[in-house]
Amino acid sequence: MVFLIPTVYIYLTHGNEEYLASQKSIEKGNDYKAIKQIGEATLFLAIATGYIFVTGWMLYKPDSKIPKLVIIFGTIAVIILYFMRIYGIPLPGTDIVIRDLSTDWRDVVTKICQSIIIFLVTLLIGVNKKIPQQA
């Protein structure tokens, strides 16, 4: 759970930064760039919201495997989407494709945390399976 905090924080702040950048792009009249930035902001904020929701679900139902599986497969999907950006991710409803070859500290931190999240949640599922439930 501890590794979810920096991941959520980075996605929230990065989403906010992209949104603010989109507003500047709109002011400069660069609508194409603004739409790409809004698309990225929406994605980052959706990922953060998903992590918050599923973490709450895991805390509310600690014995359930479903939220743990959702967090594992959701995190894998986010990592795959991250690598797809090299080839381009089309924005639904537009002709815009987001391609991004840049990386910074946020990419490194989130991917490390996400790898640890997958490992720990998988381990948690395995530990819960092996510990006999007391009546």
Contact (CB, 8 A) for 39 and 98: yes
Q: Domain map of the chain by residue range? A: 4-126
Q: What is the pTM of this model?
A: 0.81
- Tens of pLDDT, residue by residue over 95-123, are 888 887 777 888 888 888 888 889 988 88
Helix axes 105-130, 66-84, angle to 10 degrees: 150
Residue 104, judged by CB atoms within 10 A of its CB (0-12, 13-18, 19+), counts as exposed
State the average pLDDT for the chain: 87
Instruction: State yes or no: pLDDT of 93 exceeds 90.
Output: no
- Tens of pLDDT, residue by residue over 70-92, are 999 999 999 998 888 888 888 88
- Band of residue 27 on the pLDDT scale cut at 50, 70, 90: very high
Residue 28: the pLDDT is: 94
Of the two residues 17 and 131, the one the predictor is more confident about is 17
Contact (CB, 8 A) for 110 and 14: no
Of the two residues 30 and 102, the one the predictor is more confident about is 30
Q: Within the chain, where are the H helices?
A: 4-27, 31-60, 66-84, 105-130
